[in-house]
Amino acid sequence: MGTTRLETAPEPKYWHLKTVLSDALDSEFAVGEILPNERDLAARFGVARATLRQALEQLELEGRLQRRRGVGTTVAPPRVGVAVGLARHTWPGAPGDDWQPGDAAESDRVPSDVARMLATAPGDRVHIVRRTRVSQGRPVAAELLYVPAAAVPGCAVPAASLTAPARARAVLRALQDLRLDGQDRTVELGSARAEDARQLDRLPGAPVLLVTTRYVSGGRTTAVSVATYRADTCRLTFGESTTLPLLAG
E strand or H helix at 200, and its extent?
none
Last residue of a domain, which of 75, 109, 127? 75
249 DSSP assignment: -
Q: What is the CATH number of the domain that holds 168?
A: 3.40.1410.10
Shared domain check, 209 and 104: yes
Which of the four pLDDT bands, split at 50, 70 and 90, describes residue 220?
A: very high
Alpha helices (H) in the chain, listed in sequence order: 13-28, 38-45, 49-61, 112-118, 164-176, 194-199
Domain closes at, from 23, 45, 75: 75
Give me the CATH number covering residue 24: 1.10.10.10
Predicted confidence (pLDDT) at residue 6 exceeds the cutoff of 50: yes
202: pLDDT strictly greater than 90: no
Could you tell me if residue 183 is inside a domain?
yes
Amino acid at 90: T
Domain range for 30: 13-75
For position 52, what pLDDT does the model report? 92
Same domain, 64 and 98: no
Question: Which residues pair with residue 243 across a beta bridge?
Answer: 237
pLDDT confidence of residue 244: 38
Query: Confidence class of residue 245 from pLDDT cuts 50, 70 and 90?
Result: very low
Are both 116 and 169 inside the same structural domain? yes
Domain end position, chosen among 57, 75, 93: 75
Q: Is the pLDDT of residue 176 over 70?
A: yes
- Edge-to-edge strand list for the sheet holding 182-191: 100-107, 126-135, 138-148, 220-230, 207-217, 182-191
pLDDT band at 10 (very low <50, low <70, confident <90, very high): low
18-22, 25-29, 153-157, 211-215: least confidently modelled range = 153-157
**What does the pLDDT look like over 112-141, one tens digit per residue?**
999 999 999 999 999 999 999 987 777 889
Q: Is the pTM of this model over 0.85?
A: no
